[in-house]
Amino acid sequence: MEALPKLSFFSKLLFLLSFFSLSSSSSSSTSSLLHPSIADSSKLHRNYTAISDFRLLNRRKLLDCPRIINPSVKLTVVSASESLLNEEFINVTVSGVSIPSIEHWVAMITPSKANVDSCPLNEGLYLQTGDLSRLPLLCHYPVKAAHLRSDPDYLRCKKSECRVRSGGRCLQKTCNATLSFHVVNFRTDVEFALFGGGFATPCLLLRSQPRTFQNPNAPLYGLLSATDSTGTSPSTTFSYRYGSDRVGWSDEATFTTPPAGGDENDFHFLAFGDMGKAPLDSSSVEHYIQPGSISVVNGMAEEVESGKVDAVFHIGDISYATGFLVEWDFFLHLIKPIASRVAYMTAIGNHERDYDQSGSVYRLPDSGGECGVPYETYFQMPTFGKDQPWYAIEMASVHFTVVSTEHPFTPGSPQYEWMKKDMASINRSRTPWLVFTGHRPMYSSIRGFIPSVDPNFVAAVEPLLLQNKVDLVLFGHVHNYERTCSVFNNVCRGMPFKDINGIDTYDHNNYTAPVHAVIGMAGFSLDEFHTFAERWSLARVAKFGYLRGHATKEKLSLEMVNAVTRAVEDSFIIIKAPIQ
């Protein structure tokens, strides 16, 4: 896959080529191959950007390669059939290795041949990241990779073949390793490449023949959102399939529409932020991995399967693809059991939108140059137009105001004027609950290298929340769970009481201020809490999970669910009498 237009991965570059019959070792340190601003990054900076040796492969300097060939080394790819299915696990076996090394690895690459002639022009695109390295660089980026040591028998040569035998004794044996790669339909061909030198000094040894997918144009992922539709009705289950006679049809699936705004029925929803995805083949590494995502998806999929979920809200930092299209493929595959069954509503986050000179509030490279384009293509919400990713939607007794924290939000901006008008126009006898949601929080106990809370956002928008009596505010961006008192301007204006079950209960019959909850604990590596807590912080959980919501006209119940154990880590209730 391509991060940016690049030179040919193999034919136009010189690689440091090592031979497996020799011991592999890096000829120079990792730091010597990188710009100092990256090599010497602090721990906080590395965590924030998730910099890893694999993610920096395309910034490696390329050295000359000795031309040594070992005919015994082979790379064998085994799949279900010659043409690949829409999803499968492929076994890749490396055999004939004389001296196993921790630096031997296999890359999965798509497409096998890419038009990357403009790679020299990409130099300037890295300047905003502080990377001033000069080309030529490794200009075609693997989809994923796995070290041969992931096979536990490799380094100890437990899987071996005898190459030279004499007098009943084996005089020369070689070692084998087998890796499993999870593949989804990328719509382009796939090949595997064998490397030495680790990720620091990669050197190409062998390439497999390309494999194509049986149907590169197959309809793959049903993705539902709640928009105006004349063909459906609320709270109804439908069977459907998608595709065409030309490209084929998906399997039949079912989805259930959410209740209409003002409906008297109970409303059940799930909410979370910052999920992303992780490899299903646990031995591999990818461009950007969010370790909690699989357990969170599994937990939510079980709830959706039970029929007790009307809608899902994913509030920013969706896939963390950041410029790599196949990462969207992996993500859409991961969420299919949820997004094809119920309305999957989203808010845009920094990793979908932010980039310098793109119109985003924050001039950071967090989107990898996507600038919201793939996000808006995949997740078509009921917004007002292109690059205006804010909207409101009503489901049963709840009015959701969904905003973009990445677009201008100050008074006079289109989004601010829309927020002001939307929240002021709500009929609270019809939808008594007002939930305000977006990506970046107004309150968080985490004090990171880059601040999570923007005081400009708080100053501009928080007064609107109080003025319009917002009941609940949901944000992500910080990778944990945190719940506040009824807070405004950093001061607790109201505290919950304990009900007969010991659950914190906020009485909004005597409204004082909104309750805030940070719910960015759905996948990205967690932000641990310090022992100190602000006075407005009432509950803090650094575990992977999601928020479960249940609304009636008189009660809004929320639970933070641990995705691994399914235990409820925190719960709270907001109550109010119905407006006549």
pLDDT at 580 over 90: no
**pLDDT at residue number 20:** 34
Asked if 529 and 383 sit in the same domain, the reply is yes
**pLDDT at residue number 368:** 86
Which strands, in side-by-side order, build the sheet including 105-109? 203-207, 191-196, 105-109, 144-147, 285-286
Six token digits for residue 497: 């009481």
Distance CA 442, CA 450 (A): 14
pLDDT at 62 over 90: no
User: Is 391 a domain residue?
Assistant: yes
- Strands (DSSP E) found in 420-528: 433-437, 472-475, 481-488, 491-494, 497-498, 504-507, 515-519
User: Is 580 a domain residue?
Assistant: no
**pLDDT at residue number 33:** 42
Distance CA 372, CA 378 (A): 10
pLDDT at 40 over 80: no
Comparing 52 with 224, which gets the higher pLDDT? 224
Asked if 195 and 274 sit in the same domain, the reply is no
Asked if 370 and 473 sit in the same domain, the reply is yes
Asked if 185 and 63 sit in the same domain, the reply is yes
**pLDDT at residue number 51:** 61
- Note the pLDDT tens digit of each residue in 547-568: 999 999 999 999 999 999 999 9
- Note the pLDDT tens digit of each residue in 95-128: 999 889 999 999 999 988 876 665 555 555 555 5
* Cα angle value 576/578/580 (rounded, 5°): 145
Distance CA 63, CA 136 (A): 10
- Structural domain including 154 reads 31-207
**Which DSSP string do the residues of 395-426 spell out, in sequence order?**
EBTEEEEE--TTS--STTSHHHHHHHHHHHT-
**pLDDT at residue number 60:** 64
Distance CA 385, CA 341 (A): 26
Short-list 549, 542, 535, CA closest to 564 = 542
Asked if 191 and 321 sit in the same domain, the reply is no
Average pLDDT over residues 117-142: 57
**pLDDT at residue number 117:** 62
Average pLDDT over residues 345-349: 98
**pLDDT at residue number 364:** 87
Short-list 138, 116, 141, CA closest to 14 = 138
pLDDT at 49 over 50: no
Distance CA 562, CA 100 (A): 41
Asked if 166 and 292 sit in the same domain, the reply is no
Average pLDDT over residues 73-80: 94
pLDDT at 69 over 70: no
Asked if 476 and 371 sit in the same domain, the reply is yes
pLDDT at 16 over 60: no
Count CA within 13 A, CB hemisphere, residue 516: 29
What pTM did the predictor assign? 0.88
* Cα angle value 255/392/332 (rounded, 5°): 40
Residue where a domain stops, chosen among 207, 223, 250 = 207
**pLDDT at residue number 186:** 95
Q: Which residues of 495-519 are buried (b: 16+ CB within 10 A; e: fewer)?
A: ebeeeeeebbbbbbeebbbbbbbbb
Asked if 279 and 166 sit in the same domain, the reply is no
User: Is 127 a domain residue?
Assistant: yes
**pLDDT at residue number 579:** 74
Asked if 302 and 411 sit in the same domain, the reply is yes
Asked if 446 and 367 sit in the same domain, the reply is yes
Tally of domains within the chain: 2
User: Is 14 a domain residue?
Assistant: no
Residue where a domain stops, chosen among 207, 226, 245 = 207
pLDDT at 159 over 80: yes
Comparing 514 with 4, which gets the higher pLDDT? 514
Local confidence band at 202 (pLDDT 50, 70, 90 cut-offs): confident
- Note the pLDDT tens digit of each residue in 467-504: 999 999 999 999 999 999 999 999 999 999 999 999 99
* Cα dihedral 323/44/314/334 (nearest 10): 60
Residue where a domain stops, chosen among 158, 187, 207 = 207
- Note the pLDDT tens digit of each residue in 246-298: 999 999 999 999 999 999 999 999 999 999 999 999 778 888 899 999 999 99
Answer yes or no: are the C-beta atoms of 390 and 407 closer than 8 Å.
yes
**pLDDT at residue number 448:** 76
> Taking all residues of the chain, what is their mean pLDDT, rounded to a whole number?
86
Asked if 122 and 37 sit in the same domain, the reply is yes
User: Is 246 a domain residue?
Assistant: no
Q: Which residue has the tokens 């910099």?
A: 51
**pLDDT at residue number 327:** 94
Distance CA 237, CA 218 (A): 25
User: Is 344 a domain residue?
Assistant: yes
The percent of residues above 70 in pLDDT, for the chain, comes to: 84
User: Is 262 a domain residue?
Assistant: no
Answer yes or no: are the C-beta atoms of 180 and 91 closer than 8 Å.
yes
Prior bond of 414 cis (ω within 30°) = no
User: Is 565 a domain residue?
Assistant: yes
The enclosing domain of 381 has a CATH number of 3.60.21.10
